[in-house]
Structure 1
Amino acid sequence: MADDKLAGERNLNDQIIDEFRRNEGKVGGQFEGFPLLLLHSTGAKSGEKRINPIAYFEIDDRIYVVGSAAGRDASPSWVFNLRAYPQASIEIGADPPKTVTAHELPPDERDRIYEIVVQRAPGFGEYQQKTDRVIPVFELALT
């Protein structure tokens, strides 16, 4: 059962990635009009290359991603990947991939940025209410 769910999520991710690349970073469905990037990371356990479509926020000329997993009790796998291997790359729009270093925000900075995220996308406030874990926020600094 868990394998079926994982396969379904990977299939959905693959569809979003294809649509993203065909349409210069724009996708429809539940993500229509929302800024997405493609995060290329290294698997924390497997060491394999991974690609995940992720909502991002540009705040004070910096790029942030939020490990909300829609309020589930476990962080998405890409969070563990960035913690293990902070060197990654991102695709935004039609631009070629850019190398980044991921920095997980410390609590005070995380809270300040998360408040801005919730102002822009109120669903993220609901995600935090659904879980006891503190939803992590990463800055993706261009290198």
Structure 2
Amino acid sequence: MSDERDFNQRNIDEFRANGGKVGGQFEGFPLLLLTSTGAKSGQQRVNPVAYFDIGDRIYIVGSAAGRDRNPAWVHNIRVHPDVTVEIGEDAPKPFSVRELPRGERDRIYPVVVERAPGFGDYEKRTDRVIPVFELLPA
């Protein structure tokens, strides 16, 4: 877990130092920083998360690269749906998160896969339904 935290922290630092741009495996990929409240701890948690601007709406996907468990931030936002989001050089802004019901999720996920084919691979690696969330300005 420490390796994952270190990896995330390096990407967070790079994001903030470079106006929302991150290199390496994320170069050119739209990332945002999601600050959520820990479901159990109540502490603020920051995670770099891929986002998709589809039809003037912003979506984030709890893929965990196809692992059999959702990323921790998914549990956090289900319990505490009020979050803060940083996109590019913009100042952090408050959002509320809405998990898409299955039918709506199933309409959006193919668009995600079309834009980022790796998400199709993630879906094949797991039996769980990968959740999709809409970010709503607060």
Tell me if both proteins adopt one fold, taking TM over 0.5 as the criterion.
yes
Q: 1:83 maps to what in 2? A: 78
C-alpha RMSD of matched pairs (Å): 0.5
Task: For 1:65-80, list aligned pairs within 5 A.
Answer: 65-80=60-75
Gaps of 5+ in 2: none
- Aligned-partner Cα distance in 2 for 1:12–1:130: 22
Q: 1:105 maps to what in 2? A: 100
* TM-score, with length taken from structure 2: 0.99
- Aligned-partner Cα distance in 1 for 2:33–2:125: 26
SS at 2:20 equivalent: coil
Aligned residues: 138
Deviating beyond 6 angstroms after TM superposition, the runs of 4 or more aligned structure 1 residues are none
Q: Pick from 21, 30, 39: which aligns with 1:44?
A: 39
* TM-score, with length taken from structure 1: 0.96
Q: 1:12 maps to what in 2? A: 7
- Aligned-partner Cα distance in 2 for 1:70–1:17: 18
SS at 2:51 equivalent: strand
Q: Pick from 59, 72, 86: which aligns with 1:64?
A: 59
SS at 2:76 equivalent: helix
SS at 1:65 equivalent: strand
